[in-house]
Structure 1
């Protein structure tokens, strides 16, 4: 696929899909009530889905809104997770303090990657990010004195304050929910600002953006850095919820699954990362239950089916259905009059 063709595809898939404020408020109320009604395991699953959604939010900022490509986003997620795990277990850093620490380390790594990425495009950039995901696992195993090597690190989960009256799984869920809401609000504000307009200009046409005064090097590097930062934040919360990190948890398949989840959720859309997070968590488990011998086959077929039925992702499909429903309602009212 040529660069111009791929840019057109991203632009078509990146149409905004915004929800009314009342609906967002309703979703937040449901999200707050969910852990009080669900079993601990299902509460844990939803917390993990939100963690993946924050990771995909960062990937969406890079791929969907800036038009870059990354096949190694799982590496940034792993960096955040390991930073939090090492800080908690080795250095006795408070749990909440690991979030800005993991964010800073991932931001620095993303910024460092963004500099050489300025000279690369398309498949060349994809190969560089892919290489990062490949060599991260053996690198984590090599420094066993710090990372625990192949055995990984076990982390004590944060204890809920007594005044909350919450169980451990519920407390972790609300921590994940607060992180998700804050991350989505941050990115939404960024995309509505001058930065967001510049990123979209870079995505749509780099030459035209540069003619209009957009600093390509600055905004491309910024996109990589902020994308990595969000993955690092998600990784730190992942460590709290799972209470264990190991190199094999962040293999290359994680990066590929994250990218697939973003495309399925809706590339460049507002709510695509959230739908993609649900996809990343539940679909592999579903594929494993359907066929334990070849879960990858089932997973791949499901991706093909979703892409065939909803080429702009699940968020795009939901947007079209809502638009169609609105047209039917307006038509019904016009006939009534």
Structure 2
């Protein structure tokens, strides 16, 4: 199904065929069955992986499709997480109502940050976003905001129960709640990236001068893409905070931003389905490395990452597309 989600953005959007719809339905059924066959901890890990997939898709819109490199998206993840945590803890909002607000706040923050960033490109933009990612934990610890953010102690929130009458545990319910947002945001992202907007983003990435000559408002597209990317990442942060029941400045250090970028590259640049592959990598590979070696888990993580990049230079989604193309070619030849 990766080939379905990852048709080249330069081509017009095509309607899904019967086989594609069946494949997507099977994947959704499998996703719905998993929480009933796995333990609560594994379900919790999958919930975080789904949240990471949303954030990686948002970052891929910016970096993979539009060519703007961000090393500070952990900051928007933090803003979304704290927006949800503060609304739940200080204002008594229901958890489900905080998600769109977190997305809206991050859209505004991303759009505003994207305006001055229009003057920056390449490594200069990467350094500017890196500075944002480095500064965010310190901003959250600032004494003037301590009443809201809890300072270095962070904000503790209560994990929500399933609605009355729904026979699901807390972890199972949050998994399905997160899965709902994954479906909504990935469908929206597919429609956005496979149409005129997606082609404009790729044109700006590949040939910015030609895109301007064709009448594309590059400034508007780039700043809006920054906002939409931040919206996705903020929603992911809110979902993650609700699942973890905690939001702390140290949870959103610069390493989180680097991890999200790793997820984009591992999954595949300019790939929608690659967000899932990247999310599974950044969620589970560190745990696997830790189980193999308690002494040097991050050394093993680096080995995994280098090996994967060597074997799959275009990411997992790129390898899947290549294998599918070879399979289709061989089938036609027979």
- Structure 2-normalised TM-score? 0.92
Structure 1 CA distance for aligned equivalents of residues 137 and 221 of structure 2: 29
Asked if 1:63 is matched to 2:42, the reply is: no
Query: 1:14, 1:64 within 8 Å by CA — same for their partners in 2?
Result: no
Aligned to 2:128: 128
Which moved further from structure 2: 263-272 or 297-306?
A: 297-306
Structure 2 CA distance for aligned equivalents of residues 72 and 293 of structure 1: 29
Aligned to 1:34: 34
Aligned to 2:81: 81
Structure 1 CA distance for aligned equivalents of residues 330 and 166 of structure 2: 46
Q: What is the aligned residue count?
A: 320
Which moved further from structure 2: 161-170 or 84-93?
A: 161-170
Structure 1 CA distance for aligned equivalents of residues 177 and 93 of structure 2: 17
Aligned to 2:3: none
Deviation digits for residues 285-334 of structure 1, max 9, x if unmatched? Answer: 12222233332222222111111100000011111112222333334xx3
Structure 2 CA distance for aligned equivalents of residues 237 and 62 of structure 1: 21
Structure 2 CA distance for aligned equivalents of residues 138 and 288 of structure 1: 29
Matches within 5 A, 1:200-279: 200-279=202-281
DSSP-derived class of the 2:101 partner: helix
Aligned to 1:3: none
Aligned to 2:332: 330
RMSD between aligned alpha carbons? 1.7
Structure 2 CA distance for aligned equivalents of residues 23 and 313 of structure 1: 22
Q: Extract unaligned runs of 5+ from structure 1.
A: 1-12
DSSP-derived class of the 1:96 partner: helix
Which moved further from structure 2: 138-147 or 41-50?
A: 138-147
Structure 2 CA distance for aligned equivalents of residues 203 and 254 of structure 1: 25
Aligned to 2:107: 107
C-alpha displacement at 1:148, in angstroms?
1.0
Deviation digits for residues 23-60 of structure 1, max 9, x if unmatched? Answer: 11110010011111111111111111100000001001
DSSP-derived class of the 1:174 partner: helix
Query: 1:191, 1:197 within 8 Å by CA — same for their partners in 2?
Result: yes
Structure 2 CA distance for aligned equivalents of residues 216 and 171 of structure 1: 42
Alignment counterpart, residue 296 of structure 2, candidates 272, 278, 294: 294
Query: 1:118, 1:221 within 8 Å by CA — same for their partners in 2?
Result: yes
DSSP-derived class of the 2:61 partner: helix
Deviation digits for residues 232-276 of structure 1, max 9, x if unmatched? Answer: 111111121111111111111110011011100111012011111
Aligned to 1:319: 321
- Structure 1-normalised TM-score? 0.91
Query: 1:14, 1:65 within 8 Å by CA — same for their partners in 2?
Result: no
Structure 1 CA distance for aligned equivalents of residues 221 and 297 of structure 2: 39
Structure 1 CA distance for aligned equivalents of residues 288 and 188 of structure 2: 32
C-alpha displacement at 1:15, in angstroms?
4.8
C-alpha displacement at 1:153, in angstroms?
1.0
C-alpha displacement at 1:14, in angstroms?
9.4
Deviation digits for residues 92-124 of structure 1, max 9, x if unmatched? Answer: 112111011101111111011100110000110
Query: 1:73, 1:255 within 8 Å by CA — same for their partners in 2?
Result: yes
DSSP-derived class of the 1:25 partner: helix
